[in-house]
């Protein structure tokens, strides 16, 4: 009997692309909005996983790059009428540069010190934007609907944002896969296991961690630019929402730290659970408490996450699930 092995990455990308096409084929705006958010969460979770899962550095403030990308792109579109796609790319570059600048000093820290520093950076950026009048200060910025004219109207702009978020999610997953499978990825995982030993065998931890941090900052910036372009409004509290950053960590832990499929599964499952809780009269006010309980249960009893547990329980799956 001939066994056919389906390549992991093409299969995952095909499945996500087919799922993303469902609201377009069925002309279901409600499903499109739900999947838009799921794709954004997949991007955020996969990006965090590239620094947390591969190097072991837990970044609580990774949402700062989401906010920076959103603000810069929004300002470019509002002030210079820059096309959304160009503004999104232009916003991701400064976010990546900022990751390099702040990554050099803070990635020398370890454990809780690094985690707390990322929270501090996010809160500092939120305070800066709150007082930075060119970006609207505490009130933020908002679009006049006329800005969507060049895209064919607000409806067509919403479709453009959806297509863009789909591409960003697919690009993030692809990058995460190739990083994990590369020699560079092995260096990151060596740092995660024991940084001192990694140095002994010739790995430069400082350089490797900064590069990983820069890569992990690029995609949240694109997601932020896309999200706020679609919303038509941006303000500091929403752009630098620490809760969203913590939720990304929960998704990674739930799905499986250090795996490519883990953040995808975790994001989809977490968003489904959150949607159920919000729309349920009994549990609506307990959403955050139950999310915390879910994280606690996962950490205590399913330490490898859902995908990691499957890989550990069924070794044959390791060849198929990354």
Does residue 192 belong to any structural domain of this protein? Answer: yes
Q: Which domain holds residue 128?
A: 8-319
Q: What would the two tokens of residue 131 be?
A: 């007082």
- Residue 2 belongs to a domain: no
| Displacement of CA 69 from its chain's centroid (Å) | 12
| Model confidence, pTM | 0.93
Give the other-Cβ count within 10 Å of 93's Cβ. Answer: 13
Does a structural domain hold residue 218?
A: yes
- The pLDDT, as a whole number, for residue 305 is 79
- What SS3 class is residue 141? strand
In a domain, 238, yes or no: yes
DSSP 1: -
Q: Any idea what the CATH number is for the domain that residue 196 is in? A: 1.10.3470
pLDDT reported for residue 161: 97
Q: Within the chain, where are the H helices?
A: 8-26, 29-55, 63-80, 84-106, 112-130, 154-181, 183-193, 195-200, 205-231, 236-239, 242-255, 261-278, 287-301, 305-313
pLDDT for 2: 44
What DSSP assignment string belongs to 28-49? -HHHHHHHHHHHHHHHHHHHHH
Q: Is 233 helix (H, G, I), strand (E, B) or coil?
A: strand
Q: What does the block give as tokens for 35?
A: 């999947």
Q: What is the domain count for the chain?
A: 1
**Does residue 206 belong to any structural domain of this protein?**
yes
**Rounded CA separation 59/220 (Å):** 13
pLDDT for 313 equals 78
Give dist(CA 73, CA 200) in Å, integer.
43
Query: Distance between alpha carbon 168 and the CA centroid of its chain, in Å?
Result: 10
1 within a domain of the structure (yes/no) = no
pLDDT tens for the chain, residues 1 to 322: 344 456 889 999 999 999 999 999 999 999 999 999 999 999 999 999 999 999 999 999 999 999 999 999 999 999 999 999 999 999 999 999 999 999 999 999 988 899 999 999 999 999 999 999 999 999 999 998 888 999 999 999 999 999 999 999 999 999 999 999 999 999 999 999 989 888 988 899 999 999 999 999 999 999 999 999 999 999 999 999 998 998 898 899 889 899 999 999 999 998 888 877 777 766 666 666 766 777 777 777 777 778 877 777 777 777 777 7
Q: Say which DSSP state 234 is in.
A: E
DSSP code, position 260: S
The answer to whether residue 126 sits within a structural domain is: yes
Tell me the C-alpha distance between 96 and 127, whole Å: 20
Establish if 185 belongs to a structural domain.
Answer: yes
């Amino acid at each position: 009997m001939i066994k056919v092995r389906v390549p992991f990455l093409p299969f995952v990308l095909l499945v996500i692309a087919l799922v993303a096409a469902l609201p377009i084929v069925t002309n279901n705006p409600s499903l499109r909005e739900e999947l838009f958010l799921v794709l954004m969460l997949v991007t955020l979770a996969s990006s965090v996983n590239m620094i947390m899962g591969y190097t072991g550095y837990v970044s609580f403030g990774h949402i700062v790059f989401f906010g920076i990308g959103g603000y810069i792109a929004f300002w470019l579109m509002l002030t210079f009428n820059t096309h959304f796609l160009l503004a999104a790319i232009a916003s991701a570059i400064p976010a990546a540069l900022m990751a390099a600048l702040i990554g050099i000093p803070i990635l020398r820290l370890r454990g809780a010190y690094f985690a707390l520093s990322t929270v501090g950076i996010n809160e500092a950026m939120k305070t800066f934007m709150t007082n930075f009048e060119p970006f609207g200060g505490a009130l933020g910025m908002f679009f006049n609907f006329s800005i969507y004219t060049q895209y064919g109207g607000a409806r067509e702009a919403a479709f453009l944002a959806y297509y863009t978020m789909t591409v960003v999610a697919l690009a993030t997953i692809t990058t995460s896969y190739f990083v994990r499978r590369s020699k560079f990825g092995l260096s990151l995982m060596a740092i995660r296991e024991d940084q001192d030993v990694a140095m002994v065998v010739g790995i430069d931890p400082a350089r490797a961690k900064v590069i990983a941090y820069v890569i992990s900052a690029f995609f949240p910036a694109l997601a932020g630019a896309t999200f706020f372009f679609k919303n038509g409004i941006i303000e500091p509290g929403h752009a630098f929402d620490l809760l969203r950053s913590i939720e990304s960590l929960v998704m990674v832990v739930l799905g499986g730290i250090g795996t490519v499929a883990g953040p995808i599964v975790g994001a989809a499952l977490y968003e489904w659970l959150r949607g159920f809780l919000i729309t349920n009269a009994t549990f609506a006010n307990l959403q955050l408490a139950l999310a915390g309980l879910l994280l606690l249960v996962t950490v205590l009893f399913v330490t490898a996450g859902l995908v990691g547990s499957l890989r550990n329980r069924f070794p044959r799956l390791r060849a198929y699930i990354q």
